[in-house]
C-alpha cells in the first residue's frame, strides 16, 4: 500500500455534522483536513514509526499515518483525551492513546480525566463506565456496536432475581457488564482486584457475576464460597489446557501466562495469571526468552515494542468487539462528536456507586 489515502466518512455522518470547532461544522472540519500521505508527513512521523516498526508493517504505515496526525491534532483542538484498552491495535495503543491500561486503570483514569471529551477506544461497557464517572463530559465510542459476550450474558432483571434467590448475599459484579447490571449490584470488580473485593465483603458467601470462569478461579484462591453466573468471554473460553500442554511439550522452556477469564484448567497449566496489565508487568519484570500470552492477540504486539528481547509465541484469539475500533472511526468520532454514550440518570447514579466503591476498595 502507498500513495494518497483519502478519508471518506459515511454520508449520514456528513449530513449530521453539526458539531463545531471554532465555528466550523463537522463537515467543514473534514474539508479543512488533509488525510493524505506525503513525504513531509512521513518525515514528521518518522520517529514515531521507528518506535512501532517491529509491530506495524511498513506497507500499512502510509494508511495509518495521516489518521494518526489528524487525530492527534484534533484531539488537542477539542481538548479531548483518548483512553485505550490493552487489547487495542498497536496504531491506536502506541500512536493516539493518551492513557492505556486494563479495565481498572481505565476506570481510575476516567475518574480523573481532565479533557472536555473522552474518546474510549475499547468496548461499550468501558465507555459506559467512563460516562458514569464523568456525567458532565462527552464520552464517545467510535463504534456503538463494540460489545462484549460477558456484558451480553446478564441483565438487570437477572441480578434482581439473584438477589431474591440469595437474600443477604453480597453481589460483586465484574465491570464487563451494562450500567443496568452495575446499578443492581453492591460493588464492581475487575480481573485485577476480584479476589480482594470478594474477601472484603466480610461474608462467607458472595455472588460473583457474570463470568463463570473468573468466579471459579477466585474460588480456588479463597475460603469464601463463590456463587457464579453462566457468562463467558468468547475469546478466553476458546483456550484449552490440552493445547497449552502441547505447547509446553514442544518447548519446555516456554513461559505461559493467562488471563483469569480462561477456564481454571487453563490457568492450571500457566506460570502466572492476572489482569491484562498484570500480564504486561510480569513480562516486563521477568523478561522471559519465550512467552505465550493466553489472551487477546493485540497484547503481544503492544508489549513487543517495549520488550525487544522477549520472543512472543502467538496462538492468540481475536476479540471481534475490540477490533471494531479503527483509526478512521476514531477520527469520525472526534470530528462529529458521535457516538456519545448516555446512561439514564437514575441507573447511572446507582451504577456509579458500585464503580466508586470498587475504586475506593482497591486503592
Q: Pick from ligand 13P, ligand SF4, none: which does 191 bind, CB < 5 to 8 A by kind? A: ligand 13P
Q: Which is nearer to ligand 13P, 86 or 302 (CB)?
A: 86
Please identify, using beta-carbon distances, which residue of 235 and 325 lies nearer to ligand SF4: 235
177 binds, among ligand SF4, ligand 13P, none (CB under 5 to 8 A by kind): none
- Cα separation, 67 vs 77, in Å, equals 15
- Classify residue 278 as exposed, middle or buried by CB count within 10 Å of its CB (0-12, 13-18, 19+): middle
Backbone phi, psi, residue 333, to 5°: -60, -45
Helices (H), 288-344: 298-304, 327-336
Q: Does residue 242 sit in helix, strand or coil?
A: helix
- Phi, psi angle pair for 206, to nearest 5°: -140, 140
**Cell digits for 77?**
483542538
Using CB distances below 5 to 8 A depending on partner kind, what does residue 86 bind out of ligand SF4, ligand 13P, none?
A: ligand 13P
Nearest to 141 by CA among 184, 111, 110: 110
How far is 351 from 133, CA to CA, in rounded Å?
Answer: 10
Cell numbers representing residue 330 in the block: 476514531
Indicate which of ligand SF4, ligand 13P, none lies near residue 321 (CB less than 5 to 8 Å, by partner kind). Answer: ligand SF4
Count other C-beta atoms under 10 Å from residue 88's C-beta. Answer: 26
| Using rule CB under 6 A, residue 102 touches ligand 13P | yes
Number of residues engaging ligand 13P in binding (CB under 6 A): 11
Q: Which of residues 195-234 bind ligand 13P (CB under 6 A)?
A: 233
Nearer to ligand 13P, 251 or 356 (CB): 356
- Nearer to ligand 13P among residue 68 and residue 172 (C-beta): 172
Contact 122, 106 (CB under 8 A): yes
Edge-to-edge strand list for the sheet holding 255-258: 272-273, 255-258, 290-294, 311-313
Question: Shortest gap between Cβ of 175 and ligand 13P (angstroms)?
Answer: 7
Say whether residue 276 binds ligand 13P (CB under 6 A): yes
Of 251, 276, 249, nearest to 262 (Cα)?
276
Is 149 a binding residue for ligand 13P by CB under 6 A? The answer is: no
Residues of this chain that bind ligand SF4 (CB under 6 A): 123, 148-150, 176, 233-235, 261, 296, 319, 321-322
* Cβ atoms of 234 and 259 closer than 8 Å: no
Q: Helix H segments across 53-147?
A: 61-77, 90-93, 103-111, 124-133
Among 176, 177, 178, 354, interactor with ligand 13P by CB under 6 A: 176
- C-beta of 147 vs 268, nearer to ligand 13P: 147
Among 66, 94, 96, 103, which residue interacts with ligand 13P (rule: CB under 6 A)? 103
Q: Which partner from the list ligand SF4, ligand 13P, none does 149 bind, CB cut-off 5 to 8 Å by kind?
A: ligand SF4
Give min distance, CB of 247 to ligand SF4, in A: 21
Measure the CA–CA gap between 259 and 276, rounded to whole angstroms: 7
Binder to ligand 13P among 26, 65, 84, 86 (CB under 6 A)? 86
In whole angstroms, the minimum distance from the beta carbon of 319 to ligand SF4 comes to: 3
Residue 107, interface with ligand 13P (CB under 6 A)?
no
CB of 218 within 8 A of CB of 246? no
Question: Which of ligand SF4, ligand 13P, none does residue 256 bind to, with CB < 5 to 8 Å depending on kind?
Answer: none
In the complex, the residues that contact ligand 13P under the rule CB under 6 A are: 86, 102-103, 176, 190-191, 233, 259, 261, 275-276
Amino acid at each position: 500500500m502507498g500513495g494518497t489515502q483519502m478519508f471518506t466518512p459515511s454520508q449520514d455522518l456528513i449530513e449530521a455534522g453539526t458539531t463545531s470547532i471554532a465555528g466550523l461544522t463537522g463537515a467543514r472540519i473534514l474539508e479543512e483536513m488533509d488525510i493524505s500521505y506525503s513525504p513531509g508527513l512521513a518525515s514528521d512521523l518518522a520517529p514515531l514509526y521507528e518506535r512501532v516498526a517491529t509491530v506495524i508493517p511498513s506497507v500499512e504505515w502510509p494508511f495509518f499515518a495521516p489518521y494518526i496526525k489528524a487525530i492527534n491534532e484534533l484531539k488537542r483542538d477539542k481538548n479531548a483525551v483518548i483512553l485505550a484498552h490493552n487489547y487495542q491495535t498497536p496504531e491506536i495503543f502506541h500512536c493516539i492513546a493518551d492513557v492505556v491500561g486494563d479495565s481498572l486503570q481505565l476506570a481510575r483514569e476516567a475518574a480523573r480525566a481532565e479533557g472536555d471529551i473522552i474518546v474510549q477506544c475499547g468496548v461499550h461497557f468501558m465507555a459506559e463506565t467512563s460516562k458514569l464517572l464523568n456525567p458532565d463530559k462527552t464520552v464517545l465510542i467510535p463504534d456503538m456496536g463494540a460489545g462484549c459476550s460477558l456484558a451480553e450474558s446478564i441483565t438487570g432483571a437477572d441480578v434482581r432475581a439473584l438477589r431474591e434467590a440469595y437474600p443477604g448475599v453480597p453481589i460483586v459484579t465484574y465491570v464487563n457488564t451494562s450500567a443496568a447490571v452495575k446499578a443492581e449490584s453492591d460493588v464492581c470488580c475487575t480481573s485485577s482486584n476480584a479476589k480482594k473485593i470478594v474477601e472484603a465483603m466480610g461474608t462467607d458467601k458472595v455472588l460473583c457475576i457474570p463470568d463463570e470462569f473468573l468466579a471459579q478461579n477466585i474460588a480456588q484462591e479463597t475460603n469464601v464460597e463463590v456463587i457464579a453466573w453462566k457468562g463467558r468471554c468468547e475469546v478466553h473460553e476458546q483456550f484449552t489446557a490440552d493445547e497449552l500442554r502441547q505447547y509446553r511439550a514442544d518447548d519446555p522452556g516456554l513461559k505461559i501466562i493467562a488471563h483469569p477469564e480462561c477456564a481454571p484448567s487453563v490457568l492450571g497449566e500457566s506460570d502466572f495469571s492476572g489482569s491484562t496489565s498484570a500480564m504486561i508487568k510480569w513480562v516486563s519484570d521477568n523478561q522471559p526468552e519465550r512467552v505465550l500470552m493466553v489472551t487477546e492477540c493485540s497484547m503481544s504486539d503492544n508489549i513487543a515494542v517495549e520488550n525487544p528481547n522477549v520472543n512472543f509465541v502467538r496462538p492468540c484469539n481475536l476479540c471481534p468487539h475490540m477490533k471494531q475500533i479503527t483509526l478512521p472511526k476514531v477520527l469520525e468520532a472526534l470530528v462529529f462528536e458521535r457516538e456519545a454514550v448516555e446512561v439514564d440518570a437514575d441507573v447511572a447514579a446507582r451504577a456509579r456507586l458500585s464503580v466508586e466503591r470498587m475504586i475506593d476498595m482497591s486503592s
